[in-house]
Structure 1
Amino acid sequence: MNIVLLDPRQTESEIWTISAKRQLEHLHTHVGVKVGDTLKVGIREGKRYLTEIINISGNSIQLKPLKEEKVPEKLPVTLIVALPRPKVLRRLIMDAVTLGVDKLILIHSYRVDKSYWQTPFLQQLDHFVTLGLEQAGDTIAPKIELYKRFKPFVEDVLPIMISEHSPAYVAHPYTNLKMPYAVDHSCTVIIGPEGGFIPYEIDLLIKNGCQAVSLGNRILRTETAIPYVLGRLFSTT
């Protein structure tokens, strides 16, 4: 936890209060906070501040804001991912938020087991988002959308997101076109399931405006491909 996220209602007075059990346990156990320490605090969907701890009790920590700090900028990318296995979903959401994805869309595909859509993890997305924001020191959550039907999404929703200045790239190992590097524009990135998109799905994506691009001849796991792709596309070196 590199920032403590507070609900806006917790910051309506001059003195702010941390009262969530999870946050208190982390601050006491892993940070060892004491009165007079400074603490980075963010207001959910708002600004971020450097604060000073002015009081510690058994069930709360009170703070006063010292100065406003800059919120990390988002990457200008919409990340579309075929819904992964439930255990991977948690890490995927956290990592995507930490990396600064502006929008995240989870979709169905032929190789996505229908049971994945029944996982209770889908009801806990906001918690995973919070953990990702806390890791990155961010306060603004990405928009998350879910589409359980592949063809209607690709034909009716995806084309609206694509333009000359904002292309869509689908990661596909069996193409000669390489994934772009260090782009200077917004884009959409599409990552398939563990077994990859089937040929029909790749053809439909291409037909509706996507560019199939390769990351090389190694087949990567979903959670490996995402940070690799985003690091490549938005490299600043």
Structure 2
Amino acid sequence: MTLNSIQAIPLKRSIMNLILLDLADIDADGYAWVRDPRRVRHLHEVHGVASGDELTLGILGGAIGRGRLISLGEHEACFEVIRLELSPPAPLPVHLVLALPRPRMLARSLEHVTALGVKHITLLHTRRVEKSYWQSPELAPGRIRDHLWLGLEQARDTVLPEVTLERRFKPFVEDRLPELLQGRRGLFAHPGMPSACPRGIGDDTLLLVGPEGGFIPYEVERLLDAGCQGVHLGERILRVETAVTALLARLF
């Protein structure tokens, strides 16, 4: 494939491998209605479905199965739920603590880690996090939910992660971190740490990932004092979204 042919391929932001439904989308007769403009547009433009086609459906927080398209209009789609018999994929045994990334990277990171099976996410303020990031519209509950939803659709999952915001580093380390470490292995990723990130662990883990530029020395010392182990991914300096994906893949 030539470079020109690669450039000519239209890119889609998200592949909806699962049509995720809320219980409120299902009427008293058992029919599922999709009225969200994004999902309706996706059915038209990406799936190219017609009445009678079967697609994969999932109920938020519940089972996965199949549904038959009854009708598809400009603003809504109606499905007959045929069966819901499969459980969602197993979650990763990890609580991810992520120094708040810049807004555009936050959106991608939430989608990626949700697709990988992370169910507990804490967004943390650290010294190198710009204070303006906390004013971003991407932190609105509805926007966060949208990105988590996209990650679930991508991975054919139905269980939304829990997202917590921690706007102050010191109270988090002193008050919240000891509780989070109970029964968990604590790891934080930072360039220059003596130990390489372990591979294929089965432990329930608390994983902390710093901002671009890493943690400052004070933060490193406090994490070590709390009982966390510092690890590295080698000599390369990675973007946060790349580092998080690499860490999760290597650990689990």
TM-score by length of structure 2 reads: 0.89
* Equivalent residue number for residue 158 of structure 1: 177
1:7 aligned partner, one-letter code? D
Q: 2:121 aligns with which of 90, 100, 104?
A: 104
Unaligned ranges ≥5, structure 2: 1-15
Aligned: 1:145 with 2:164: yes
**How many pairs were matched up?**
233
Instruction: Work out which of the residue numbers 68, 75, 99 in structure 2 matches 1:82.
Output: 99
The 5 A counterparts of 1:31-42 are 31-42=47-58
Q: 1:169 — aligned with what? A: 187
Q: Which residue number corresponds to residue 64 of structure 1?
A: 80
Give distance in 1, aligned partners of 2:243 and 2:73.
44
Q: Do 2:97 and 2:206's aligned partners in 1 also have CA atoms closer than 8 Å?
A: yes
Asked whether 1:25 is paired with 2:44, we answer no
Which position in structure 2 is the counterpart of 1:199?
A: 217
3-state SS in 2 of match to 1:75 = coil
Tell me, what secondary structure is at the counterpart of 2:108? helix
Q: Give a deviation string over 1:139-180, Cα, whole Å, max 9, x none.
A: 1111000000001101110111114x5211000221211211
Q: Which deviations, in whole Å up to 9, do the C-alpha atoms of 1:61-80 show, x marking residues without a partner? A: 22112222231111111111
Counterpart-to-counterpart distance in 2, 1:155 and 1:142: 24
- In the TM superposition, what is the alpha-carbon distance from 1:12 to its structure 2 partner? 4.2
| Paired residue type of 1:218 | R
Give CA deviations for 1:18-40 in whole Å, capped at 9, x if unaligned.
Answer: 22211111001111111111111
Which residue matches 1:95?
A: 112
C-alpha distance in structure 1 between counterparts of 2:157 and 2:209, whole Å:
24
Give the secondary structure class of the aligned counterpart of 2:119. strand
Q: Aligned partners of 1:179 and 1:34: how far apart in 2?
A: 48
**In structure 2, C-alpha distance between the alignment counterparts of 1:129 and 1:17, rounded to whole Å:** 21
Asked whether the 8 Å contact 2:102–2:133 carries over to 1, the reply is: yes
- Give the aligned partner of residue 131 of structure 1: 150
Give distance in 1, aligned partners of 2:130 and 2:163: 20
Query: Match for 1:18: what amino acid?
Result: V
Q: Which amino acid aligns with 2:146?
A: H
Runs of 4+ aligned residues of structure 1 deviating over 4 Å after TM superposition are none
Contact 2:40 2:74 in 1 (8 A): no
Q: Distance in 1 between matches of 2:54 and 2:207?
A: 38
Q: Unmatched 5+ residue regions in structure 1?
A: none
> 2: distance between equivalents of 1:148 and 1:49?
40
Q: Which amino acid aligns with 2:25?
A: Q
